[in-house]
Chains A and B, each alone.
Chain A
Amino acid sequence: GQQVMQIPQYQHVQEGEDFTTYCNSSTTLSNIQWYKQRPGGHPVFLIQLVKSGEVKKQKRLTFQFGEAKKNSSLHITATQTTDVGTYFCAGPLIKAAGNKLTFGGGTRVLVKP
């Protein structure tokens, strides 16, 4: 069935360094969404990408949607301790009854000060 997969599952980053997390879908997506969940918290919507090849930035976070609309990436520059959390990508799973958002397994980010 249609799946959304994320790698890596865990990311240990030294404070100040950059890193990238990747999201891949088995099918073409109409849009991709990214969420962040702090430890003990709830997922918080970060951004939605719709267009092929789209790139959006939020301060130190850069989000990209692949040309084929089957993959996406999140790049964080100069990682800070406030970046700790799990980052989820999510895409719509198309079904006859309408589509629903399918979440990837998440990348859990740990920052070493």
Chain B
Amino acid sequence: DAGVIQSPRHEVTEMGQEVTLRCKPISGHNSLFWYRQTMMRGLELLIYFNNNVPIDDSGMPEDRFSAKMPNASFSTLKIQPSEPRDSAVYFCASGTGGSGGNQPQHFGDGTRLSIL
């Protein structure tokens, strides 16, 4: 079975550019999560969706970050404009059930983002 699929795996871009990260959750999963991982801050939840609806976006750092889930099989995380401090590994995860904290989550391989 296919797991969570993220693209691109690596992204290197210059400060000020728009960055779009993509995620395809596991088929049948109705919850989707975007995380950011850095050495300093660990694994942080940015936003999560349930049935394509954003439930909690309190972890989104600032207005430069936005996320969408137009359908059950696709989500994007966009950073515009990007800054060097956005450099991190971004993970997408999916799960079943309606509550974000009560279900096991299946992570994708992540996107390693470097902003120069």
Contact = CB atoms under 8 A, between A and B. Distances in A.
Interface string A73-95: 00000000000000010011111
B43 to A, nearest CB: 4
A31 interface: yes
Nearest to A95: B56
B78 interface: no
A88 B108 contact: no
A40 B109 CA distance: 9
Interface stretch (B13-21, B22-30, B60-68, B96-104): B96-104
Contacts of B99: 92, 98-99
Interface of B: 33, 42-43, 45, 48, 50, 55-56, 58-59, 91, 93, 98-102, 104-110
Q: Rank and list the top 8 A-B pairs by shortest CB-CB distance, nearest first.
A: A92-B101, A99-B101, A42-B107, A100-B100, A103-B43, A45-B104, A101-B101, A97-B56
